[in-house]
């Protein structure tokens, strides 16, 4: 039996303008809207594709950060077998070292022979979670994966990586293993609202708690929006005004006649 | 305002004239008889002359068998319909009877194709009168002797004329089928369509021959005065006597024709229980059980009730359709009228409404009886040949091709409800996740942000920043009109300018109005059309809750799609409101003097009926009243009102990759408008239309000839006193964002 575990997390939704916390060292999360990290959604899709192919058991686990229940119910509606929410004193925005240690704890009590997670998340662009998990669990790791095949016996995986310059690489690794997913073999599926609502009524999210031991020893000194540098000219006004200004500039520079 | 006569009215006139002619025949016959006088008192004929007495009993026995044969035919189909889910279609008998009289007996859905209309009217009335004539003869012969003297002669003349009309009709049908060959007849079958038609020809010709030979043998010499009352028979009789046929030969020929005519007629009648001619009965039944509400209220039909079976939503099996839907697939006679104005069919998509109905019909004929047998045995075992309807029998791309514009339903002579199939099929596909990624992204955005553009709800009211007066937040203070702006009108830059024009005109009229700002969400009309029922419910519930917290008297909408959902679909979720479309409000404001045009506009314009305003909700005249009040010259396109041609954005297509392989519907429409000649403005009343048709004007390269303008834009122009420079030239008005580089 193939047991797939998909650790996912929520990240700020960029449809809203981001605010910076008065401390200047974090995002202002009070009014932030959260959305599932896109690559984690791809990891989930890849897990569901493998489930359809190999009758695998899929569990989704997430630290209780943001509106994670929404994402977990959506995963349940998509057909995962188990959804686990982990609570603990890791704060509202744990870094990947903290997250990996918490996940390691929970994974200890969870049967797993394939761990799929998004290769990175937009809130830190760190790309360390899969690597850290694999070293804590002493498992092989491949990142930036865009296709996964499992052999009949479930003992090894063949994964696809797209390298720069139009080259593809196929890698083989024994299971259990950790994979950092860049893209699922098909776009994440749509799950109808009625199924999500149905899941909210009938399915349950399991709760676990885990201790957060230490962190990555990295301290955020400052978070800020880009400063307007010298020589840059900001165009202001309605989109039509701006379009007209751009046309004017291009004409001035002799690009348009 | 001068309205150029639409092409349709001439056709209607001819159809009316055809009716008048048909009605005149018996009247003329009666008048002639009265005029000719009284010495024909003993006129009449021997029924079944020259035919053995036992043949009469054979005939009646055959008639009895026929009744059973026909009844069995319907029983077999009835058993298939019973596979379907229940649906109530027998309320309001008076209204249903009226529909039957107008559209059944009155053939009220015929006008459209002139040739086919005349053809069908001739066959229909010919057959009806011949049938009544035969029944009258039976009564005369077996019960009460009354067809004598002038009554007989009038009877004889009427039947001859109608027989001739039927013959002409059948001839026209043969010409159409074999010489004209319109592409919409491509699904015609050999047995059901071709053989049947030739059989009708044979029945009519042999009937006239029987009559002619009888007249030659019995009337021409003895009672020449009577013979002329059967003009067709008289001509045939003359031919035979001129050829020198003697009485003995005539009797033999007569018997031969009679023995051909009667079995042919009986065979045709038997067909009433099985093939295409069953539309006499099934068509009537379908018209009687038609949806009485306008298309917009179609979701009220049981076929599209909210999903309750979450494990099994939408249409996968025949059993997922209602009996009414199953009956409808049997009604279709493959006339192809549904394709005439179908934008999917015209743009080269795989969908044709006729093909959809016929595919399900053929599938039901093949697999249905096995399903009935399996149900009898109470067995759940798989039935041979059973397929999933959504996605397999009807391929997914065909299901997604539909624009839900309703042009097919508006054309069907039997009121087949194609759209009820479409939405049910899509529900299934959405549940399986078989949908365009662009569409699924849009739906995700709708569930997260409440709008189809995937933008923050906080930006929903930002278009008001371009106004020099504040717009009330109706959540904070009461207003007479709650303006439900809609997604496109709120977010789409191409539509925002029109939205601001609406606001300025409302403001100028002193209207007390407000909007809900970020409290408003997509009304969900097209969400429902793409089959995402759960999301529609979520949006409806949210909107109804917010509306419940606002104080207002009437809702006014910009978007006809929003208008349709709020008006027809929110009541089922507890949202009952007074609703009007902004064109209706503009008409009121102009007519009660709240808006006073400062001048008459001299533009030559055409008006495009939005599907969800016109066909779905019957608002055709109000926008035209607005145009009339402005003084513009309105030139109607051939496809206007019920026949209006979809812009190609409906049914969720605004959110999908283009599915067509041919000309875009919007481009086809712009060409139609340009072909009218000298039309400056293509006037629309829907925010989706603004961007769809502006694009189409650019891609067709008609920017010099025609410009797209929203109706409110014209209203605002008429309110301005000074004549802007750009108008004086008569060239299309440049849109604000157009730049000459």
Boundaries of every domain in chain B: 11-37+63-81+91-283, 296-432, 439-728
Please tell me which residue of chain B has the smallest CA distance to A192: B431
Asked if the model's pLDDT at residue B21 lies above 90, the reply is no
pLDDT tens per residue, range A63-82? 999 889 999 999 999 999 99
Query: In chain B, which residues have their Cβ closer than 8 Å to the Cβ of A195?
Result: 310, 431, 534
pLDDT tens digits for A4-31?
A: 999 999 999 999 888 898 999 888 888 8
pLDDT bracket for residue B544 (50, 70, 90): very high
Distance from CA of A49 to the nearest CA of B (A): 13
Tell me the nearest-neighbour CA distance from B455 into chain A, angstroms. 6
Residue B556 reports pLDDT greater than 90: yes
pLDDT value for B43: 77
pLDDT interval class at B302 (50, 70, 90):
low
Beta bridge partners of A173: A157
**Domain at A3-209, CATH from 3.40.50.620, 3.40.50.920, 1.10.3720.10, 2.40.160.60:** 3.40.50.620
Digit-coded pLDDT (tens) for B305-356: 666 676 778 899 999 999 999 999 999 999 999 998 899 877 778 899 999 9
What are the DSSP calls for B170-238, one per residue? HHHHHHIIIII--GGGTT--IIIIIIHHHHHHHHHHHHHHHHHHHHHHHTTTT-HHHHTTSHHHHHHHH
Mean pLDDT of B559-579: 93
Q: Angle B302-B446-A73 (CA atoms, 0-180°, nearest 5)?
A: 85
Chain B residues touching A244 at Cβ < 8 A: 739
Over residues B59-65, the mean pLDDT reads 92
Count H helices, E strands: chain B? 28, 11
Planar angle of CA B733, B739, B741, nearest 5 degrees: 135
**Alpha carbon distance B119, B721 (integer Å):** 55
Contact B454 A15 (CB under 8 A): yes
- Name B707's bridge partners: B681
What confidence tier does B39 reach under pLDDT thresholds 50, 70, 90? Answer: low
B52: confidence class by pLDDT, cuts 50, 70, 90 = confident
Among the partner residues B307, B443, B455, nearest to A190 by beta-carbon distance: B443
Residue among B433, B493, B532 minimizing CB distance to A189: B433
Q: Which residues of A touch B456 (CB under 8 A)?
A: 15-16
Give the model's confidence band at B728: pLDDT under 50 very low, under 70 low, under 90 confident, else very high: very low
CATH class name, domain B296-432: mainly alpha
A16 with B741: Cβ contact below 8 A:
no
Cα–Cα distance, A256 to A25 (Å, whole number): 44
CA B433 – CA B391 distance, rounded (Å) = 11
Contact B537 A193 (CB under 8 A): yes
Do A244 and B739 count as a contact with CB atoms less than 8 A apart? yes
Q: Mark yes or no for CB contact A243/B739 under 8 Å.
A: yes
- Euclidean distance between CA atoms A90 and A94, whole angstroms: 6
Tell me, what DSSP letter sits at residue B75? H
Query: Nearest-CA residue of chain B relative to A237?
Result: B466
pLDDT at A167: 93
pLDDT > 90? residue A203: yes
In this prediction, residue B722 has a pLDDT band, given cuts at 50, 70 and 90, of low
Chain A: which residues have CB within 8 Å of chain B? 13, 15-16, 35, 187, 189-198, 238-240, 243-244, 247, 251, 256
Q: Average model confidence (pLDDT) for chain A?
A: 91
Summarised one tens digit per residue, pLDDT across range A116-131 is 999 999 998 999 999 9
User: Is residue B738 scored above 60 in pLDDT?
Assistant: no
Place of tokens 């569990």: A59
pTM across the whole model: 0.88
Q: Check if the beta carbon of residue A25 is closer than 8 Å to that of residue A221.
A: yes
* Nearest alpha-carbon partner for B11 in B470, B516, B643: B643
Q: Taking residues B392-410, what's their average pLDDT? A: 93
pLDDT (tens digit per residue) in B621-671: 999 999 999 999 999 999 999 899 999 999 999 999 887 678 899 999 999
Contact A240 B736 (CB under 8 A): yes
pLDDT of residue B327: 96
Q: Locate B285 and state its tokens.
A: 């039944």
pLDDT, position B17: 67
pLDDT band of B741, cuts 50, 70, 90:
very low
Instruction: Report CA-CA distances (Å) from B123 to A36, B117, B201, B250, B630.
Output: 66, 10, 11, 30, 47
Residue B42 has what pLDDT?
76
Tokens of B83: 């596979």
pLDDT exceeds 50 at position B733: no
What CATH topology corresponds to B11-37+63-81+91-283?
Answer: Fumarate Reductase Cytochrome B subunit (1.20.950)
Structure tokens at B448: 């997260």
- List, as own/partner pairs, every contact residues B442-445 make where C-beta atoms lie below 8 angstroms and the sequence separation is at least 24, other chains included: B442/B655, B443/A190, B443/B527, B443/B530, B443/B532, B443/B535, B443/B655, B444/A190
- Interchain CB distance below 8 Å, B430 and A192: yes
Q: How far is residue B697's CA from residue B454's CA, in Å, rounded to a whole number?
A: 27
Give the residue among B443, B452, B446 at the shortest CA–CA distance from B559: B452
**Rounded CA gap, B88 and B79, in Å?**
18
Smallest CA–CA separation between A193 and chain B, in Å? 5
Per-chain mean pLDDT for chain B: 89
User: Is the predicted pLDDT of residue B566 greater than 70, yes or no?
Assistant: yes
Total Cβ atoms within 10 A of residue B7: 13
Nearest to B435 among A15, A16, A190 (CB): A190
pLDDT at B2: 34
CA distance B489 to B495: 5
Tell me which of A23-32, A114-123, B30-39, B580-589 is least confident: B30-39
Residue of A nearest to B465 (CA): A238
Q: Do A191 and B534 touch (CB under 8 A)?
A: no
Q: Is the pLDDT of residue B41 over 60?
A: yes
Nearest CA in chain B to A238: B466
Q: By mean pLDDT, which of A22-31, B207-216, B358-367, B561-570 is the weakest?
A: A22-31
| Residues 281-320, chain B, touching A (beta carbon < 8 A) | 307, 310, 313
Instruction: Tell me what percent of the residues of chain B surpass a pLDDT of 90.
Output: 68
Instruction: Tell me the pLDDT tens digit for each residue of B68-113.
Output: 999 999 999 999 999 999 888 888 899 999 989 888 888 888 767 7
Contact status of B437 with chain A (Cβ, < 8 Å): yes
Q: Does B493 touch chain A (CB under 8 A)?
A: yes
């Amino acid at each position: 039996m193939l047991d797939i575990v998909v650790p996912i997390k929520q990240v700020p939704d960029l449809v809203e303008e981001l605010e910076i916390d008065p401390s200047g060292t974090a995002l202002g999360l009070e009014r932030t809207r959260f959305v599932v990290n896109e690559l984690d959604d791809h990891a989930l899709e890849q897990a569901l594709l493998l489930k359809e192919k190999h009758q695998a058991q899929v569990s989704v686990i997430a630290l209780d950060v943001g509106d994670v229940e929404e994402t977990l119910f959506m995963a349940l509606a998509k057909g995962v077998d188990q959804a686990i929410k982990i609570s603990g004193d890791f704060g509202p925005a744990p870094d990947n070292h903290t997250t990996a240690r918490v996940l390691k704890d929970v994974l200890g009590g969870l049967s797993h022979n394939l761990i799929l997670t998004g290769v990175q998340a937009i809130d830190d662009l760190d790309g360390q979670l899969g690597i850290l998990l694999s070293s804590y669990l002493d498992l092989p790791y491949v990142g930036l994966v865009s296709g996964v095949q499992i052999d009949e016996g479930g003992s090894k995986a063949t994964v696809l990586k797209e390298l720069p310059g139009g080259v593809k690489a196929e890698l083989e690794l024994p299971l259990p293993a950790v994979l950092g997913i860049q893209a699922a073999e098909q776009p994440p599926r749509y799950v109808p609202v009625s199924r999500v609502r149905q899941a909210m009524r009938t399915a349950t999210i399991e709760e676990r708690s885990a201790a957060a031991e230490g962190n990555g020893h990295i301290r955020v000194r400052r978070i800020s929006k880009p400063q307007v540098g010298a020589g840059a000219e900001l165009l202001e006004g309605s989109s039509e005004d701006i379009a007209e200004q751009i046309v004017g500039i291009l004409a001035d520079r002799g690009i348009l006649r | 305002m001068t309205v150029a006569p639409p092409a349709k009215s001439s056709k209607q006139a001819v159809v009316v004239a055809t009716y008048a002619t048909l009605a005149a025949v018996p009247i003329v016959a009666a008048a002639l008889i009265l005029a000719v006088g009284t010495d024909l008192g003993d006129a009449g004929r021997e029924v079944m002359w020259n035919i053995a007495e036992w043949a009469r009993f054979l005939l009646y026995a055959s008639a009895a068998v026929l009744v059973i044969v026909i009844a069995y035919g319907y029983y077999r189909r009835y058993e298939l319909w019973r596979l379907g889910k229940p649906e109530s279609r027998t309320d309001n008998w008076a209204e249903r009877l009226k529909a039957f009289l107008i559209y059944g007996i009155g053939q009220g859905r015929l006008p459209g194709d002139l040739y086919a209309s005349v053809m069908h009217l001739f066959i229909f009335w010919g057959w009806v009168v011949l049938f009544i004539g035969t029944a009258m003869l039976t009564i005369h012969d077996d019960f009460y002797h009354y067809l004598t003297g002038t009554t007989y002669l009038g009877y004889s003349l009427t039947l001859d004329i109608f027989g001739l009309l039927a013959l002409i009709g059948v001839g026209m049908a043969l010409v159409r089928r074999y010489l004209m060959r319109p592409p919409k007849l491509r699904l015609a079958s050999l047995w059901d369509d071709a053989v049947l038609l030739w059989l009708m020809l044979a029945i009519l010709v042999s009937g006239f021959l029987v009559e002619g030979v009888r007249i030659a043998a019995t009337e021409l010499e003895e009672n020449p005065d009577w013979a002329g009352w059967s003009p067709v028979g008289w001509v045939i009789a003359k031919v035979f006597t001129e050829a020198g046929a003697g009485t003995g030969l005539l009797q033999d020929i007569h018997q031969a024709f009679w023995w051909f005519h009667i079995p042919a007629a009986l065979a045709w009648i038997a067909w009433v229980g099985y093939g295409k001619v069953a539309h006499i009965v099934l068509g009537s039944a379908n018209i009687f059980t038609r949806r009485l509400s306008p298309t917009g209220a179609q979701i009220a039909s049981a076929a599209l009730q909210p999903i309750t079976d979450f494990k099994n939503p939408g249409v996968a099996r025949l059993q997922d359709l209602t009996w009414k839907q199953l009956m409808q697939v049997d009604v279709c006679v493959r006339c192809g009228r549904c394709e005439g104005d179908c934008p999917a069919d015209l743009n080269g998509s795989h969908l044709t409404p006729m093909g959809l109905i016929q595919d399900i019909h053929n599938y039901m004929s093949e697999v249905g009886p096995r399903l009935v047998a399996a149900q009898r045995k109470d067995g759940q075992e798989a039935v041979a040949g059973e397929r999933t309807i959504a996605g397999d029998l009807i391929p997914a791309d065909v299901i997604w091709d539909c624009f839900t514009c309703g042009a097919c339903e508006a054309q069907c002579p039997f009121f087949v409800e194609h759209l009820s199939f479409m939405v049910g099929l899509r529900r299934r596909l959405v549940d399986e996740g078989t949908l365009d990624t662009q569409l699924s992204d849009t739906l995700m955005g709708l569930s997260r942000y409440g709008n189809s553009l995937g933008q923050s709800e906080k930006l929903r009211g930002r278009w008001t920043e371009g106004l020099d007066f504040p717009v009330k937040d109706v959540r904070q203070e009461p207003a007479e009109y709650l303006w439900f702006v809609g997604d496109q009108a709120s977010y789409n830059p191409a539509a925002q300018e029109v939205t601001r024009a609406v606001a300025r005109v409302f403001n100028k009229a002193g209207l007390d109005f407000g909007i809900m700002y970020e409290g408003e969400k997509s009304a969900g009309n097209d969400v429902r059309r793409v089959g995402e029922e759960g999301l529609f419910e979520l949006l409806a519930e949210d909107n109804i809750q917010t509306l419940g917290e606002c104080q207002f008297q009437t809702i006014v909408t910009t978007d006809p799609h929003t208008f349709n959902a709020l008006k027809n679909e929110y009541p089922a979720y507890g949202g009952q409101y007074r609703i009007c479309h902004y064109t209706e409000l503009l008409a009121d404001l102009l007519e009660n003097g709240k808006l006073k045009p400062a001048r008459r506009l001299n533009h030559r314009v055409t008006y495009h009926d939005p599907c969800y305003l016109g066909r779905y909700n019957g608002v055709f005249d109000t926008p035209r009243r607005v145009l009339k009040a402005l003084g513009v010259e309105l030139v109607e396109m051939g496809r206007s009102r019920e026949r209006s041609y979809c812009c190609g954005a409906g049914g969720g297509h605004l959110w999908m990759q283009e599915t067509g392989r041919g000309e875009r519907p919007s481009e086809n429409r712009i060409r139609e408008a340009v072909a009218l000649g000298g039309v400056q403005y293509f006037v629309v009343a829907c925010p989706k239309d603004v961007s769809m048709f502006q694009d189409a004007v650019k891609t067709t390269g008609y920017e010099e000839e025609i410009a797209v303008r929203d109706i409110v834009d014209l209203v605002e122009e008429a309110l301005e006193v000074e004549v802007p420079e750009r108008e004086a030239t008569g060239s299309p008005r440049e849109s604000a964002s157009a730049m000459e580089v």
